[in-house]
Every structure is written in C-alpha cells, then in structure tokens.
Structure 1
Amino acid sequence: MSKRILITGASGFTGKHAVQHFLDKGYVVHAVIRLTKLDLMQENLHIHSLDLSDKAAVHALLEKTNPDYILHLAGENSVPESWKTPFKSWQANVDSTLHLVEAVRDLGLSTRVVIAGSVLQDELSDAASPTHPYSLTKTMQTTVGLAWHNLFQVDVIIAKPSNIIGPGVSNGVCTLFAKQLRQLQTSGKSQFQVGNAAVTRDFIDVRDLVTAYETLFLKGTAGETYEITSGRWVSLGEILSLFRQVSSFDFTIRSETEEAMEMKLPMMSEKIRALKWEPTRSLEMSLADVWEYTAQL
C-alpha cells in the first residue's frame, strides 16, 4: 500500500518540487495550498485549500487524511515582510506548526513530521535578541516542533537547509541574479553591479534537498536537527562568474564593496550524510538550470 504524505506550502518553490518527487516515488500526496494554485493533476494527488492558522481545519484535515508523513514547508519566508507585519509572520510560521503537531498529538497519529527550518534562524539562546522578526519565527517554529516531541513524543524531525537554488519561481539570490543578467543582456549593456561580491554562502539544489527530506522520513531520528548543505561555500562574485560561464554572456562585475563580511559558523551536514544522502547536482549544473528557467519568464 502506498505511503501517504501531506505537504504544506505545496505551491511554493520547494513545495512544487517535493510534490512531483513524491508522486514519482509512488506516494499518495496530499498537497496543502492557500492563496495560489498548483497546476498539476495526477491520480495520486489530492489538493487541499487550507489556512494553517485555522486550528480546527488543520485538525479535520489530519483526521481525514491520516498521513504517514508530513513535510511542513508552508510559512512566511520574507524578512522585509516580517518587519512590516511581524504578527502575520508569527501566525504563518509558529501557529501553523503548533496546529500541525498538536493535531498529530490529539489524534494519536503515528505520523512523522519533518519541519523545514532556515539558515537565517537564530539559536534559541539568542531568541530575545533576534536578527529580525523572521529569524525569531523560524527559531520558535523549530522549538515548538522539538518541544512537542520531547513533551508528547510526537515524531518530529527538524531539517535546516542552506540557501536553496534551482529552476522554478524563487526569490533566492541566484534566480534574482539570472533575471537581472537577462535584462542586462537584452539592454545591450555589459556591466553588472552587485552590493558586495565578497559575501559567501552555501547553496543546495532544491531537488537534492527534496531527496534529503525523503531520507529523513525513512532513516532520520526523531527529535534531531539535520543541517542540509552542499558543503561548498562560494562568494556572490563566484556565483556571477559561474553565470558568465553557463550563459555565454560576457559581462563585467562591479562590486560596491568587497569588505569581508562576518559569517555565522558554517553549517555541517555530517548527520544527514551519515544516512547515506549526498547531493548529486553541482553548483554549475544548478545555475545552468536556473539560467535556462529564466529564459521562459
């Protein structure tokens, strides 16, 4: 019998890739969306329009679907928006998570829940002095999930990915760069300006990330946090240089500053790799796919 997975935020960047991945693997997928559409029709796909801040609706959905797995991707992921409407971000990230794990507890389900954290979240010890409202909501979101595991034995795992890239609708820096470069190319100009080319980040392809999520469902340990990274730190200047290669667009790079930036400790992916997961797509492959995708826009 096919396993049932419920995916929140199913119409988002990672969500769309996750839905297709699990359908391809033979799962029965219950895709939860809210304001947007999911333009996909397959036999094992069931789409639910739901506001996760509605506790009763979440409880009813889980009672109806009884999923083996929940991949919780939904939420507000914009730092600027979190400054404008911090309570909305709290509802989207913290309340929605609480409603999910509480419904699992209340219904006595054996569902395994993987909650997607963020590279931008702070440590719980720093929660009273957060970097921004978004980081606070992600810190508290993962804390709630782990607390429900420790208090009530809900099967919760936290997945903390680095910066996500790949083809699809995304507000990530690589997709933004690709769009801007195409506009530059169309205009006939050849100088690309960036704020600080020295900023370094780790990027993980969204398709490798979704495979990591499945690995956690099958092999992860409840109550643990798994960081999911490529293990390759690159500067934004290097990203632009790679775009020059994959696009065959000979542009120059002008950085407003190249001062060294204070960086959090690099994320470590030993725990997820110990479960026999490895990324399969190189950064160059991912950027080539991003470049090809933006040609359609």
Structure 2
Amino acid sequence: MSRRILVTGAAGFIGYHLCRRLLTEGWIVHGLDNLNAYYDPALKRDRLAHLENHPDFQFHTVDLADREAMTGLFAGPHFDVVVNLAAQAGVRHSLQDPAAYVDSNLVGFANVLEGCRAQAVDHLLFASSSSVYGANARLPYSVHDGVDHPLSLYAASKRAGELMAHSYAHLFGIPCTGLRFFTVYGPWGRPDMAYFRFTRQILAGEPIPVFNHGQMRRDFTYIDDVIEGVVRLLDFAPRPAPMSTERPDPSTSDAPFRLYNIGNHTPVALLDFIAILEDLLARKADIEWLPMQAGDVIATYADVGELQEAVGFSPATPLRDGLARFIDWYRSYYDAS
C-alpha cells in the first residue's frame, strides 16, 4: 500500500524537486504552500504545473501560520511522514521584515509540530540551515559544534526550530530529523540566490554585487544530491541514544532526535565560482566590490560524516557540472541567449 507524505513548501525549490522524486517512488504526496510573493509566484506556479497532473499529488494552498487551517489539514488523512520545507528564507530579508520569520519559521513550525503530535506521525524531517553555525569559525562545520551565536534573525529562527523539534521529540516521542542545508543550487532554483541573480545580471550586462571584496567561500550543494540525502533519511527515523547530561553533545539525544549536515563538503571561493559562471556563460562579469554585509559569514563548509555513516551517502556533484545544468535550464526557461 502506498504511503502518504506531507511536504510543506511544495512549490518551493527543494520542495518541488522532493515531490517529483517521491511521486516516482509511489508515495501519495500532499503538497502545501502559501505561494507568497517573496520571489515571483509565477515560478512557483510553474513548478506546481509539473506536479498537479499526477494522480497521487494533492495540493493545499495553506499558510503555516494559519492555525485553524493547519489543524484542519491534520484532521484529514493520516501522514506517515511529514517533511517541513516551508519557511521564510533569506538572511538579508530578515533585516527588513523580521515579522515574516516569526510568523513562518516559529509560529508556522509550531503548528506543524502540533499537527505531527495530533497524528502521531512516524517521522518528521524539517529544513534547518548552515546559517545556524553563525559565529562559529571552526571548519568544517560539524553537528557536534555548538550553535548558540546566530548572526541573523533567519539563523536564529532556524536554530529555534531545532530546539522546538527537540522538545516535541522529548515530550511526545515524535521522531524528528533536522536537515542543515548548505547553499543549495540547481534548475528551478530560487531567484534570490547568488548563482541565479549573477546569471541573470551577467547575461543582462549588469554589475554583480560581490560582498567582502570577494573573500568568501561557500559549500555549494547540487539539488539532486540534497534530494537523495533527504529521501534516504525518510525511513531512517531517529531513536533515543545515550547522552551525557553533564556535558551534552549537540548531535545526540536521549530523545528520538538527530541533526544532519547536507552539503557538498567542498567549499569554493566566491571568485572561483564567478569564474566558472563566466566560462559557462561565455560572458565577463562586471563586478561591484562591496564590504561585508550584516548577518553574513565568510565561509561555509559541511562535515557530512554523520550523513555518510547513517545512510551511506554524501553529496559530491562538482560545481561546474551542477552550474552547467542550471544554466541549461535557465536558458530554456527564460528563453535567454
């Protein structure tokens, strides 16, 4: 019998790709999204158009922060697994509109947790972020590291979500898995991300803003690798593990709760990234050099040892290959030459 899964943020970048994969594997998929205007909703609707004709896909236009609507959703068919990918994203935007992060990432996630409690779901997986590592400068980032110094409200909201999930795992026995994603990119991606904006700006002959005068490194992770990691974890619900209460390790718990980094574990210098884009686009970038921006970090670098040990997989798509696939999609989608 097919199993039933709820994917929030189904019209988003990662959510769309996850729903496509799940449908090919025989899941009954319920997708939820509020189709907000943080970036062009037309792109979200075009993603959904690839899903909605599938007989095993049902879409719900619901805002996570709408408690009544969320209660109604979880009063319906039972979900075997829930994957919460809906969130207000973006470090920079959190400086301008903090309320959006409170509503979606805190209130909204609390509603997801309550729904999972009401249904006693078998497994909740939820999106966190590499941003939670904040002021921690020890690389590579490990789930064993402390993450108590976030540098943006976005990062703080993601860390708060991890703590909220742990409390529900402890109190109600809900198996919860947090996924710390590292700079996800690829076809059907988010227009606010640097690789997407730089592609548009280079093709249009516009200057690209480069912060910290280019002294940045990012662990770019291709979307198919991210989806593979998530899918492998669906049936790997965490169990309680021995934990020292005197010197607790952030990565383990006596509750059914675990955290995983999902990153390419190969940080790339920003200027090298731009050079690859220039080569693939056969265009030179006009660079606007800018100082470090508030809330940002100089480097991200994922230690994925726990993911490899748990499910025998770690992302490994080379950046040039992934960017080439993205650019092919971009030219096709926008009919760009």
TM range, smaller chain: 0.7 to 0.9
> Equivalences for 1:34-49 in 2 at 5 Å?
34-35=34-35, 36=41, 37=45, 38-39=48-49, 40=51, 41-49=53-61
- 1:244 pairs, out of 264, 275, 278, with 278
Alignment partner of 2:23: what SS? Answer: helix
Q: CA deviation at 1:98?
A: 1.1
1:257-283 per-position Cα deviation (integer Å, ceiling 9, x unaligned): 799x97467321011111111325321
Q: Tell me if structure 2 keeps the 8 A contact 1:197–1:255.
A: no
Alignment partner of 1:182: what SS? Answer: helix
Partner of 2:23: 23
1:121-146 per-position Cα deviation (integer Å, ceiling 9, x unaligned): 2579765x641221111111121111
Q: In the alignment, does 2:88 pair up with 1:76?
A: yes
After TM superposition, the structure 1 stretch with the greater mean CA deviation from structure 2, 52-61 or 13-22, is 52-61
RMSD: 2.5
Partner of 2:137: none
Partner of 2:2: 2
1:157-192 per-position Cα deviation (integer Å, ceiling 9, x unaligned): 1010101110114122111111112112xx8xxx86
TM-score, normalization by structure 1: 0.88
Alignment partner of 1:48: what SS? Answer: strand
Identical columns (%): 20
After TM superposition, the structure 1 stretch with the greater mean CA deviation from structure 2, 261-270 or 229-238, is 261-270
Taking a change above 3 Å as real, the CA distance of residues 68 and 234 of structure 1, as seen in their structure-2 partners, is: same
1:189-228 per-position Cα deviation (integer Å, ceiling 9, x unaligned): xx86634323101011112111111111122524010001
Partner of 1:204: 221
Q: Within 1, Cα distance between the matches of 2:71 and 2:291? A: 50
1:90-143 per-position Cα deviation (integer Å, ceiling 9, x unaligned): 110011111111122133x2331101001112579765x641221111111121
Q: Within 2, Cα distance between the matches of 1:68 and 1:120? A: 29
Q: Tell me if structure 2 keeps the 8 A contact 1:198–1:258.
A: no
Q: CA deviation at 1:81?
A: 2.9
Gaps of 5+ in 2: 36-40, 135-144, 239-255
> Equivalences for 1:93-112 in 2 at 5 Å?
93-107=105-119, 109-112=120-123
Q: CA deviation at 1:288?
A: 0.3
Taking a change above 3 Å as real, the CA distance of residues 177 and 254 of structure 1, as seen in their structure-2 partners, is: closer
Q: CA deviation at 1:250?
A: 4.8
After TM superposition, the structure 1 stretch with the greater mean CA deviation from structure 2, 56-65 or 94-103, is 56-65
Alignment partner of 1:117: what SS? Answer: strand
Gaps of 5+ in 1: none
- 2:79 pairs, out of 67, 75, 81, with 67
